[in-house]
Structure 1
């Protein structure tokens, strides 16, 4: 308001000054004074009017503020009343629940008291029953003239005899039932697999011998003061044996690929005729490259023949190295290819994944390529290789389980085991040393002779059949069935053998008299 009055005064003064300056006469001065006075009066009037308007606006604002405060107060009181009612309802429900819990506690106390009374009565009744049983047992012992231990022993013996008979009957019935359903189907699958798989007989051996045109070359191979043979062994890592065998030298190494490389290098040196340390190193490098190519080609060809096209390059290389590895005279790469074919055939008959079965069969003996370098069973080594290069877990498990290093638990595991046994056990597939053969037969007889009641044992049919003679007064017919089952199970658990072993328990009673 003060600002408005000031502005009016400034305007009036400016007008008056203008008029005075313009006219300069007294009349004009008087008129200006009068105008100034009128302006002052008008400014005072405006100031009073503005003051009244301000007071009126102030009063109106105060009234509105009081009304708004009163409205908020009423709303708060309404909300407080509502919350108070809700709290009262909650307090009421809580009190009801407390009363309900008190009633339940009283009921539980009464039931606990009842149970305590019943438990006391039950304990008393149990003590009475125990006393009666003791009295009855004593009376039975007096009547039967047997102690409790004797009666218990007699009862166990009687039950044991019945259980043995029942067990024998169950085993016999189970075997007949299983054979009736499984033998025909299993024979069909195995025979089909064998008929479809025609492969060469074993023709390779573990010793590598190199033919030379004449014995004069032996001196040149040895070299002056043995420098040639020393260089050859250092470069190749293979022992070169030169003895009195005519026109033959022998290469010896646990690494079949290295032994094959040395053979190729030595044959090339003999054909070239220049045998000296520098030439030996040159020929060995060429032979190493050539054998590496052969290994790669062998692995690729085996995978191609099996219909497998996504093997890791390292697995292909390791698989190709099996070309120069033998097991009991059987070439391991040919054996792996044969197992792959057998697995595929049996999988097709069973409606199983053929490609998966072929893959597991082809890779099952992969560990034999490096088992001379890594400690452990070849099945475990091969499984580690497959796992390292991204093979599926079921493939890895089948490789690891094919010699029961882990428990077989899938159809694929059993397929690989069966195909491996078929390939190894077919006539002419493998050769066994006389010493191992004799040990295997002795082990079979020792397992059988360790059982109570066995009189003597004969291993027949090259260890494929075991005849067990028992003492008839110790072993009954029912016990003979159980004994055959136990011996067969122990052979499965403790021995490794090709094919199967048939256990025949023979119980014979003879009555002999002499006419005089």
Structure 2
């Protein structure tokens, strides 16, 4: 019985000790898990703060980039508008100068017309005075003849009129001839003035196209590449094309100056292709210019053949046809010379038809009348 009691006591004590040890173990495990959870939470918080900082930084950089792009686009747009305004201002100045010149011409014409009117009035007065003088002379001669020859008044009148008629006709013929010459001279000058004014009004917006062409560049940095080291590229361009390239302060623009419109066109196309290609050096320049020359010459031939074909003409020498094609690149008084020559050919043909002469020959003369300008 006593042993059984001890056994129960030992079992109870073991259970209590086991429970206490289990409780201590679970408590230690819970503390460890809590510590791990705190560390994990701290890590997650640090990662979140780091990610937040990264997002803020990226957002800030993106905002700065967007602001920079917007500023660049605004500056470019402002620059383009300023360029347009400068061009418009230049055109307005040119028109103002043109109108000032026309006003001066009109004042000169008014003065000339007034002077001519005064001269005509003076001459008219002289003629009236001479007419009165002749009438008085006739009366004096009539009285004298009647007194000397004892002729009747009617007979004396006939004799005197016969004598004075010859003198009057001669004087009147001289006066009429002088007036006729002056009227013809003034009429010719007036016609020329009217035609000149009309041509100026028609051609005022195109005069600058006669000797200058422009090429737009993607940026002003391209000007330096066109000039090249020590000016090698621009010298090669001018040597190959035979024109003058003007590179000044005009934004993103190069001017081409030459009286030969064909050379100017070759230079314009060549420069546009070089800037688009990006490879600008003497060898490439020579290659491009040579290729463009062939293309332009082919265009000249095609335009000449088309003009002759449209007019229904045959038997024109190929070299003459090329010269006709070159007229496409020429302007005179603001009008394209090839188009003008076609119009003259049609008008000449119509006039020849009205006159009953060779219409083909007239048309041929019309298309070739300005061939010297090629």
TM-score of the two chains, using structure 2 as the length reference: 0.47
Please identify which structure carries the higher helix content. Answer: 2
TM-score of the two chains, using structure 1 as the length reference: 0.34
Look at both structures and tell me which one has the larger radius of gyration over its CA atoms.
1
